[in-house]
Copies of this chain bind each other. A is one copy, B any other.
Amino acid sequence: MKNKEIKPKTLECHVEKMFNIIGGKWSFLIVKNLFSGTRRFGELRMNLHGISPKTLTACLRSLEFHGILTREVIPTIPPEVRYTLTEKGMDLQNVVNQMKIWGEKWSER
């Protein structure tokens, strides 16, 4: 398996498939932010301390591509862009809840 050789899908387990869809920390933090409802780009940027606009844009584009969220452009001046989780995205709540429980229990130990 040299460098960027594409690994046959059949070798990927469900956990790996999930990561290949969602990505890493920032994507999960974006999803977590959207559990409570639709957010604008600026709101997400404000809530996600330390994320760069470039990373936020890339994560949102990937999450949209994988059907985790939808993107809606409101034709105001300037135009407003809103992001909303799909059912597929909302269904990540159990994963994120278990992450919270683990983080709360172990992160200071």
Contact = CB atoms under 8 A, between A and B. Distances in A.
Interface residues of A, number: 39
A91 B102 contact: yes
Contact of A98 (B11, B49, B94): B94
Interface stretch (A12-20, A56-64, A76-84): A12-20
Interface in A34-85: 49-50, 67
A32 B13 CA distance: 10
B24 A19 contact: yes
Interface in A15-33: 15-21, 24-25, 28-29, 32
B50 A15 contact: no
Given A7-B50, A49-B7, A14 B94 contact: no
